[in-house]
């Protein structure tokens, strides 16, 4: 058991929230819940189904990558009202970690995915709103693009992903950039920085064309699928640190 304030304070510091003042996600505790925490649930999105599943699993705190507040006032109507109503009625707290959970070198989406793909020499890469959030690394040896796509599929399909490949790059790839979620717009930067391939979640019409023209591979594995890694790694870390029970809620969106 750990008190809510102690747990949230630890996460705020561990994920270095102070480095992301321009993140509109309003990172941190978004809705209060019980003061004492013995079980946490983690998920990518704070949708109503996720909240209900977390409460049904006996969690006192739900930790998500995509919270319910995004830097602007929103009326308590429709789905937004139902999410908050469910949180309060089911006595469940909500904590969000957006860009800090993308960028973290140990439990971040990008770093964990890079390790799952067996990249070496992993280092921070690609700034967003003044803060580096992606990573770049190298494969142990250059692989034919078809072989690397199979490797990506084996990692992301169990997470609900569907791998799409765009661009006219080299026959073999080794230097890989990763920015999970929605970062196809970083194709020009990846090409400029000498990468063979950019891995992200969602494709973009404009940057599919850009991948052709920059002669680089753009691989999209699904916004949801590429961002399950951070919350699961954070849950494992918190379980070990505070002896908490954890529960991952898997609700893929196929995007």
Q: Where are the domains of the chain?
A: 2-97, 103-226
Structure tokens at 76: 């308590």
Say yes or no: do domains 2-97 and 103-226 share a fold: yes
List of the chain residues with pLDDT < 50: none
Task: Supply the pLDDT for residue 73.
Answer: 83
Task: Supply the pLDDT for residue 129.
Answer: 83
Task: Supply the pLDDT for residue 254.
Answer: 83
CATH topology of domain 2-97: 3.40.1390
Task: Supply the pLDDT for residue 179.
Answer: 98
Look-up of token digits 């209900």: 52
Task: Supply the pLDDT for residue 93.
Answer: 98
Task: Supply the pLDDT for residue 10.
Answer: 98
Task: Supply the pLDDT for residue 72.
Answer: 84
CATH 3.30.750.24, domain 103-226, yes or no: no
């Amino acid at each position: 058991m750990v008190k809510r304030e102690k747990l949230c304070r630890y996460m705020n510091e561990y994920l270095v929230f102070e480095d992301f003042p321009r993140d509109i996600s309003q990172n941190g505790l978004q809705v209060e819940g019980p003061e004492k925490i013995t079980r946490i649930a983690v998920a990518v999105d704070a949708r109503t189904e996720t909240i209900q599943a977390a409460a049904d699993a006996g969690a006192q705190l739900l930790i998500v990558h995509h919270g319910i507040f995004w830097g602007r006032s929103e009326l308590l109507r429709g789905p937004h009202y139902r999410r908050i109503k469910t949180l309060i009625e089911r006595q469940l707290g909500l904590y969000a970690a957006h860009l800090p959970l993308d960028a973290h070198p140990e439990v971040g989406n990008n770093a964990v995915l890079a390790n799952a793909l067996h990249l070496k020499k992993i280092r921070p890469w690609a700034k967003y709103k003044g803060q580096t959030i992606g990573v770049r690394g190298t494969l142990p040896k250059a692989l034919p693009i078809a072989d690397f796509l199979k490797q990506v599929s084996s990692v992301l399909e169990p997470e609900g992903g569907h791998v799409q490949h765009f661009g006219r790059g080299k026959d073999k790839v080794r230097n890989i950039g990763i920015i999970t979620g929605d970062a196809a717009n970083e194709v020009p930067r990846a090409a400029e920085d000498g990468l063979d391939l950019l891995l992200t979640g969602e494709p973009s019409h404009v940057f599919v064309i850009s991948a052709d023209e920059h002669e680089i591979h753009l691989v999209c594995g699904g916004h949801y699928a590429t961002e399950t890694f951070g919350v699961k790694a954070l849950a494992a870390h918190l379980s070990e640190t505070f002896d908490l029970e954890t529960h991952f809620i898997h609700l893929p969106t196929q995007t």
